[in-house]
Structure 1
């Protein structure tokens, strides 16, 4: 007989821990388990991924839960410093311990399947794999918090069986960290921030690095100093300053209440002129500060995309020494080229270059689908998670008609988005390259529908709006991980308990009123979901907007959206001027759980 639990959370990373903690606070009498396939908690900050020198892209004060500040005395991180990987793991462990969820985590437990149950109350039966074998768990509610970086994507290269040296994904760097000492020359493949991190780790140890960035790819990511603009503003604070978020065309931007201001910047010619100037100055400042054009080798690292159209891949230089100096002195050689094949200890490029390598690290991204098989077959369409599109008649949400309507609205509201940038005329998927393939069943190049979740968390289908028994936490990318995790955790728990205000979602309970002005119909909920999902395609073509929510300057409006959904105070500063100019941070939401608990008594 299957074990029965009130809630199962899949994933013990930042989102999973926050969701479980809020559930424990709001439902102390109910049963809970967090399942994770790893041997330690933390997600990207688990022990198995903490290679030497790993740090966050965030400095102290911005990458922490709202109700659990990271103090210097306990965690050893000083103001103005980036958190180390071990400090983050320690912090998350202490968070789980303080809020009484540490003992609910079951490690080395992988969820193989999750089958939805018939009936008005729904629920799920999970088949799990543990060190002792397979077992079953019945979960009344289920939160998938595996995020978008749970399954590494490592392609197969022609000739790799003869390569004879370590070949690994960037997420496995710790397991191959001995190469930091043993290797004399390595190849790193990829242009993302994680690739920069691996390149720096090797080069700072004196290891010769051949850095290959695909000529047919997206190019190197934007890398900004921690402080930008002529005023030397802290970048993380900048993107959470309300008056600057107005320059970002955002389909959910009206949630901040400044509708007229946003209409001016995006709906008028002069407003769009000012907006374009802002993005030009921001991008130009980063280019100038990094001095890309001062040397022919650093010029190869200049980003190919426009700053405005770049999402969470806009990252921060968090290294103790200048990585560009290592490029200039030849420790790092940048190759804008494609890989054709491998031979013994050698990586071969299209140009004919042969790179002798004692190790080959591939920073080639992730499979963005959840690592769980959902049943019955075909239920992905109702769940609103990526799946192979079918005919419009069998697509309950992401229909051709809904997509066209959404596109028309997006481009009418934000004419600037009609002028889409061409990032690379030679762009093609990695797996379309000669000599590169994949044997895995999950092919990132397979055309899938995007995540189509209401407010990026819950399925907008009639079945699941009735049962309210599943949510997806962290199915997005942003700079604002900890704060969004905190706010989503409250929202999801309110959704499960049917205590969201009626204006957000019509209530399920018969004794709650669902009529009145502003109450959304199922059709409105579904269209709003498609609209927000489709928005990423137009707003962030240089990011992952076609696959899942991926944003930077739109994170604060997203927080506003969720807080307003909860019926709580959106504007949390002291007066209009402070609202416009003072950056938001985790501390502004420290009492959110208590605020909602009090407010929900009236729903």
Structure 2
């Protein structure tokens, strides 16, 4: 990506530059001829070994054209953030003001709009961004963080340690990954076992995470003011997963809270009336708009028609209790710290605003977080991006290579045990690990990859058969962060392996 027109030191890449880069990428690799834009998939019918029949609708202005596509292979790459989750609020028809999802922020009102009183619902990073945008422009923000939810997310400094290291790079450094529990073998299990199972190693790990949490709390000075104290996270930093963000703002965010430009309310919404939001505390808020930073639906975005289990919420039967027990025992033996789960905060019961969230009978149960076990042998279906991680660039590239190898019928050739029993068990094991590792995040619903993103990449590369240790030296391999450039050449290595050149 060209850096012309913006300063990398500012940490912010303008959206138009990202868009220009994507257009140039499409042109460079002649991808446009493979694309069908302004098109959505209504359904996908499983045709067994023949693949899938897709019913799609193409929008051309006010008109729609429906047709079918026969696909021998189907990759769903819509990820977990493609369909907004908008709460249903009691008496919302009486509100008489706009209500929209935070994903519509950039276009809903052509910028910040003409609002004088903004109400914001949700405690995740995007809500912090919207609160900052309005408050720094001099607009009053009433920020509602649900008492029945996860609370305010952890917000870290955008540079860590006296060396001012970018946080993401620490997560992609092997030394740091050893300090976190992980059940995937990256070739360094003997070191990780010391940190996770030996009393001295566990003491080092506990000290590391305690220092991390204390340093963040001290830097943000939550307890220095009665209002900023409301933004202090409710959960231990160790167990939260991706429910965190960076304080990458030009000015002090917390000063906007201290001076009252941002007013924080820890409460649920009971109902709405004309330009008024009523809270479970008994207070009410006047508002010209309500913006819902309430996340995304984690259920499938299209209608699958198949008699096989898809490994998706609502499309998978509950595994046998013995399989769950076996997986849990494996996890707690390898990662003893995960036995001591945090106590769930005692919140008020959820109100009407949560009634769009239905408890899924099962979380995502995909082999390697990619393929439903029931489809592993047919090799007709894969999911890309069905996870959350700060290392998306590296993981997306690696998942793409893994899926290519899988659809080329190469993955199982690299395995010493490709039995359906082994694949089913590993699927349960890995998804149960996510549940216990990020129990105060979303690990029980879908994969979260934070301190374990690099070992996950190692796992996929080992499946494919290419080198996973790519830094080119003992010291660099252990103490330098992995960057996208370190994975240059993996495609050529895979092609050579597939074609028998090695």
CA distance in 1, matches of 2:82, 2:187: 36
CA distance in 1, matches of 2:156, 2:246: 5
Q: Deviations over 1:226-250 (max 9, x none)?
A: 1123443221111111001001101
The one of 192, 198, 207 equivalent to 2:139 is 207
Residue aligning to 2:426: 528
Shift of 1:222: 0.6
Residue aligning to 2:373: 460
The 1:541–1:239 alpha-carbon spacing in structure 2 relative to 1, beyond 3 Å, is: same
The 1:134–1:272 alpha-carbon spacing in structure 2 relative to 1, beyond 3 Å, is: same
The one of 204, 229, 232 equivalent to 2:164 is 232
Residue aligning to 2:342: 421
Shift of 1:137: 0.6
Pairing 1:446-457 to 2, within 5 Å after superposition: 446-457=359-370
Q: Deviations over 1:261-306 (max 9, x none)?
A: 1111111222111111111111111111222222221111111111
CA distance in 2, matches of 1:419, 1:93: 49
CA distance in 1, matches of 2:353, 2:388: 27
Residue aligning to 1:384: 311
Pair 1:123-2:55 in alignment: no
Pairing 1:251-262 to 2, within 5 Å after superposition: 251-252=183-184, 254=185, 256-262=186-192
Pair 1:332-2:273 in alignment: no
Pairing 1:81-92 to 2, within 5 Å after superposition: 81-92=11-22
Pairing 1:34-53 to 2, within 5 Å after superposition: none
Tell me the C-alpha RMSD between the 2 structures. 1.8
Shift of 1:519: 3.1
Pair 1:113-2:11 in alignment: no
The one of 295, 302, 306 equivalent to 1:372 is 302
8 Å contact kept, 1:304–1:423: no
8 Å contact kept, 2:369–2:387: yes
Q: Deviations over 1:81-124 (max 9, x none)?
A: 22233332222222222221133221221111101113xx3300
The one of 384, 399, 402 equivalent to 1:488 is 399
Please state whether the residue corresponding to 2:278 is helix, strand or coil.
Answer: strand
The one of 63, 72, 75 equivalent to 2:3 is 72
Shift of 1:447: 2.6
Q: Deviations over 1:381-403 (max 9, x none)?
A: 2x21222665xxxx5xx332211
Shift of 1:437: 5.8
Please state whether the residue corresponding to 2:118 is helix, strand or coil.
Answer: strand
Please state whether the residue corresponding to 2:414 is helix, strand or coil.
Answer: coil
The 1:105–1:210 alpha-carbon spacing in structure 2 relative to 1, beyond 3 Å, is: same
CA distance in 1, matches of 2:224, 2:332: 39
8 Å contact kept, 1:225–1:316: yes
Shift of 1:469: 1.0
Residue aligning to 1:37: none
Residue aligning to 1:355: 285
Residue aligning to 1:64: none
CA distance in 1, matches of 2:178, 2:10: 27
Shift of 1:125: 0.2
CA distance in 2, matches of 1:401, 1:367: 30
Shift of 1:423: 4.5
CA distance in 2, matches of 1:199, 1:583: 33
CA distance in 1, matches of 2:17, 2:450: 24
8 Å contact kept, 2:94–2:273: yes
8 Å contact kept, 1:150–1:366: yes
Residue aligning to 2:199: 269
TM-score (normalizing by structure 1):
0.79
Residue aligning to 1:303: 233
The 1:251–1:173 alpha-carbon spacing in structure 2 relative to 1, beyond 3 Å, is: same
Q: Deviations over 1:201-260 (max 9, x none)?
A: 2112111000000122211001111112344322111111100100110121x2x21111
Residue aligning to 1:445: 358
CA distance in 2, matches of 1:163, 1:96: 44
Shift of 1:313: 1.8
CA distance in 1, matches of 2:372, 2:428: 11
8 Å contact kept, 1:209–1:331: yes
Shift of 1:178: 4.1
CA distance in 2, matches of 1:278, 1:595: 37
Please state whether the residue corresponding to 1:83 is helix, strand or coil.
Answer: coil
CA distance in 2, matches of 1:160, 1:337: 17
The 1:601–1:501 alpha-carbon spacing in structure 2 relative to 1, beyond 3 Å, is: farther
CA distance in 2, matches of 1:437, 1:314: 21
TM-score (normalizing by structure 2):
0.95
Residue aligning to 1:470: 381
Shift of 1:71: 3.2
CA distance in 1, matches of 2:214, 2:477: 27
Shift of 1:77: 4.7
8 Å contact kept, 1:126–1:139: yes
8 Å contact kept, 2:395–2:457: yes
Please state whether the residue corresponding to 2:86 is helix, strand or coil.
Answer: coil
Residue aligning to 1:250: 182
CA distance in 1, matches of 2:111, 2:371: 43
8 Å contact kept, 2:275–2:288: yes
Pairing 1:588-603 to 2, within 5 Å after superposition: 588-602=486-500
Residue aligning to 1:39: none
Report the number of matched residues: 497
Pair 1:401-2:329 in alignment: no
Structure 2 unaligned segments of length 5 or more: list them.
Answer: none
